[in-house]
Amino acid sequence: MIASFRLPYPPSVNHYWRHVGSVTKISRKGRAYREKVCSILSAVGAEPIPGPLAVDVQAFPPDRRKHDLDNILKALFDALEKGGAYHDDNQIMKLTAEKHEPVKGGQVVVKIESFEGNRT
């Protein structure tokens, strides 16, 4: 394992974007989430991992409401990129994600490794 991070639960993609006229921007919730992740990664001295990556996401929603696992990935990956976990989320060649029972406040555990898979 190269890196592992315990992070706050991301906002859903449904709340990540804000449309202002014909312009689409990251919402206030989205920007706050990115700032919090950047702060956490900075505190642990995260440095960008080069090359192809395999990412494992373990998601623990904040409550029992319906939370679609795929809706949190955009905010999470953008925040990890902005925070310096990797250079660009297009480096992710393999992704595994699993949703678990809720925990108070919600969280995600992300493990990032070099990906040495078949590149044909």
Statement: residue 97 has pLDDT above 60: yes
Phi, psi (deg, nearest 5) at residue 46: -60, 140
Pair 30, 11: CB distance under 8 Å: yes
pTM: 0.90
The strand pair at 53-60 and 17-20 is best described as unpaired
Residue 49 identity (one-letter amino acid): I
Statement: residue 73 has pLDDT above 80: yes
Residues in the chain: 120
The yes or no reply on domain 3-114 and CATH 3.20.20.70 is no
Statement: residue 71 has pLDDT above 80: yes
The residue ranges of every structural domain in the chain are: 3-114
C-alpha span between 115 and 107 (Å, rounded): 25
